[in-house]
Amino acid sequence: MPALIVSDHATDWPIDIPNVEVVDAWTYLTEPDFSARRHVKVFNLCRSYKYQSTGYYVSLLAEARGHKPLPGINALQDLKSPAMVRYAAGELEEEIELSLVPIQSDSFTLSIYFGRNLAKRYDRLAKHLFNIFQAPLLRVKFVKNGHWQMRSVKAIATSDVPESHWPFVTEQATRHFSGRSVSKGKSSRMRYDLAILHNPEEGENSPSEPVALKKFIKAAGQLGIAAELITRDDYGSLMEYDALFIRATTFVNHFTYRFAQRAEREGMPVIDSPTSIARCTNKVYLAELLTRQKIPTPRTLVVHKANADEIIPTLGLPCVIKKPDSSFSRGVEKVTTAEELDEKLTEFFAESELLVAQEFLPTTYDWRIGLLDNRPFFACKYYMAPGHWQIIQQEREGRGRYGKSETIPIELAPRKAVQIAQKAAGLIGDGLYGVDVKESDGKFYVIEVNDNPNLDAGCEDSILRDELYRRVMESFLRRIESQKAAISDYR
């Protein structure tokens, strides 16, 4: 993607970088040539971004032209928002304290140039702040009052960069522009770029293991999509892509949600959408939704401190107690006595005002029905871990931690299981979902709808094989082309 630096005056940017064009703001705003260009990344280095200033219009018109401005209009609003500063301070509280420990004074100013600071020890903090506040040149002020607090974040112009910092700015700008945004163009057969967000630290709990990720990349390439793995540290380059596929375990208070929000806000097709993440990762929401829509579920009670004494009379023992944001069987406990129940409620209420309690339905396996674009496309039986009541026994390591799995053609899965799974997923959206269904006494009950279902080589792909990955990539292709067509029609 060609890069363009826009500043109030072309002479404001004194660095000559190969394949990077420098233009003054007025020329960019008024010359037809710039309006007609496509697939341009615009680095807005104007002195002011205030409403209806020249700098504001550079980012505004860049978005209208289909260019990729940095900062974009939403980022400009974030820079002005005290609420966003408070959010970032909370999100990075631990990183801030860790990074600023050696500082003896009660105040500190951090200069961030293309995501970096002159002192290497601040690299991680600088990268995180650049990922949240998307501007090439930033100045962040901190004060210490018992502990370090972030006081302000400001995008700065080239004139605010000290003379002694320019060699470093030159180095970082050159590094930045020689990266993906300039040197890695699409090959002749690739029409679009897809970012696949994964978390290498998840290990065996990842929604897709390395072999499956490679199969997604291969399937995308066969459709003319250049797919590339990214991590949480690549937030700053997200807008280089045409779509986002999240293959890291999702939570609302988490980098995955932040990626999804930004992608959707910028008009990029994204799976999982932030709406899907918010709805599926909270079991209280799901319990209320499924009950209200009359989807068959085990007997369920949304629990708070005032009605906790209703659990045993309503559900009996044993029963299952769930934290709202539990995943991979963590935060989901079976209790068999009143004493166990009281103990777990005390523990769980320390983290959440509301919990979910369900009757216990003993089964040897759970159905997982996979759906994409409101259509079922795989069915698995996940068997319970040996000697355990869940498919994962978190207390155990290595062999025997997971139960076995069995994938069958979706056409051979129980019709009623598929039907209620499809109805439940349809309440969430049209993305990629895995619906967990229990079969008990010939009846089927939805346990939960997962927004980030496992798609692993040798398991969920056992029937469709490479076709499973191709179907997911075909969905992205349709979504990207639909989005591009909508922009073209608007113009």
**Alpha carbons 29 and 232: distance in angstroms, whole number:** 34
pLDDT of residue 185: 45
Q: Which one, of 284, 196, 293, 305, lies nearest residue 243 by Cα?
A: 196
What number of residues does the chain have? 491
pLDDT of residue 182: 39
Residue 394: band (very low, low, confident or very high) from pLDDT cuts 50, 70, 90: low
**Alpha carbons 154 and 111: distance in angstroms, whole number:** 10
Residue 406 falls in which region: left (phi positive, over 0), alpha (psi -120 to 50) or beta = beta
pLDDT of residue 68: 83
- Reading the block at residue 436, the tokens are 């967990």
pLDDT of 247 strictly over 90: yes
Domain-located, residue 317: yes
Exposed / middle / buried, residue 110 (Cβ in 10 Å: 0-12, 13-18, 19+) = buried
Using a pLDDT cut of 70, give the percent of the chain over it.
Answer: 94
| Judgement on whether residues 319 and 394 belong to the same structural domain of the protein | no
pLDDT of 224 strictly over 90: yes
| Judgement on whether residues 249 and 313 belong to the same structural domain of the protein | no
| Judgement on whether residues 314 and 223 belong to the same structural domain of the protein | no
**Alpha carbons 250 and 449: distance in angstroms, whole number:** 13
**Alpha carbons 429 and 276: distance in angstroms, whole number:** 7
**Is residue 451 within 8 Å of 401, Cβ to Cβ?**
no
pLDDT of residue 183: 37
Task: Pick the most confident of 51-60, 158-167, 467-476, 479-488.
Answer: 467-476
Work out how many domains the chain is built from and give that number: 3
Residue 118: band (very low, low, confident or very high) from pLDDT cuts 50, 70, 90: very high
Question: Pairing between strand 432-440 and 365-372?
Answer: antiparallel
CATH code of the domain covering residue 218? 3.40.50.20
| Judgement on whether residues 404 and 355 belong to the same structural domain of the protein | no
Domain-located, residue 23: no
Residue 416: band (very low, low, confident or very high) from pLDDT cuts 50, 70, 90: very high
| Judgement on whether residues 348 and 378 belong to the same structural domain of the protein | no
- Give mean pLDDT, residues 288-297: 94
CATH code of the domain covering residue 420? 3.30.470.20
| Judgement on whether residues 394 and 416 belong to the same structural domain of the protein | yes
| Judgement on whether residues 377 and 468 belong to the same structural domain of the protein | yes
pLDDT of residue 179: 60
pLDDT of 294 strictly over 90: yes
CATH code of the domain covering residue 345? 3.30.1490.20
- Give mean pLDDT, residues 277-306: 94
pLDDT of 210 strictly over 70: yes
Each residue's pLDDT tens digit, 308-347: 999 999 999 999 999 988 766 678 899 999 999 999 999 9
pTM of the predicted model as reported, rounded to 2 decimal places: 0.76
Mean pLDDT of the chain: 89
Domain-located, residue 158: no
Select from 275, 310, 340 the last residue of a domain: 275
Residue 289: band (very low, low, confident or very high) from pLDDT cuts 50, 70, 90: very high
Please give the residue range of the domain that contains residue 434: 365-474
**Alpha carbons 329 and 332: distance in angstroms, whole number:** 6
| Judgement on whether residues 403 and 418 belong to the same structural domain of the protein | yes
Residue 184: band (very low, low, confident or very high) from pLDDT cuts 50, 70, 90: very low
Task: Pick the most confident of 65-74, 123-132, 333-342.
Answer: 333-342
| Judgement on whether residues 349 and 426 belong to the same structural domain of the protein | no
| Judgement on whether residues 380 and 417 belong to the same structural domain of the protein | yes
* Sign, Cα dihedral of 79, 85, 88, 92: positive
| Judgement on whether residues 440 and 401 belong to the same structural domain of the protein | yes
| Judgement on whether residues 377 and 342 belong to the same structural domain of the protein | no
- How far is CA 205 from each of CA 274, 371, 423, 457, rounded to the nearest angstrom? 21, 21, 27, 14
Beta-strand runs (E) in 102-155? 107-113, 137-145, 147-155
pLDDT of residue 327: 66
